[in-house]
Amino acid sequence: MKVKGQLIRIFTKDGIELQGLFFEPKKRRNMAILHIHGLASNFYKNRVIDDIAEILTKRGYAFLTVNTRGHDYISGFIKK
């Protein structure tokens, strides 16, 4: 069974939109794991993220994976 994540969007101080996927466990610990992929990647095409999220949330950890400014080979920026 795959866990469901919540899509999040944040804006940096200079107005750049960044996206992430947040997974919350049923039983919470006071810790979370932050995953930041490499420059030429993203969180949504990497299927191993599903497995990592499932394992971590079963153990009580929140898990957040995020795109960086340069995801997908230096992406176009969405600004406010």
Question: pLDDT tens for residues 37-53?
Answer: 766 677 777 788 889 99
According to DSSP, residue 79 is labeled: B
For the segment 54-63, what is each residue's pLDDT rounded down to a tens digit? 999 999 999 9
User: Can you give the residue range of the structural domain that contains 24?
Assistant: 6-74
In a domain, 13, yes or no: yes
* Amino acid identity for residue 38 in this structure: G
Rounded to two decimals, the pTM is 0.78
The Cα–Cα gap between 35 and 61 comes to 12
The Cα–Cα gap between 8 and 5 comes to 9
Q: Report pLDDT for 53.
A: 94
In a domain, 42, yes or no: yes
The total of structural domains in the chain comes to 1
- Mean pLDDT, range 24-43, rounded to an integer: 82
Task: Write out the two tokens for 25.
Answer: 């466990």
CB 23 within 8 A of CB 5: yes
In a domain, 10, yes or no: yes
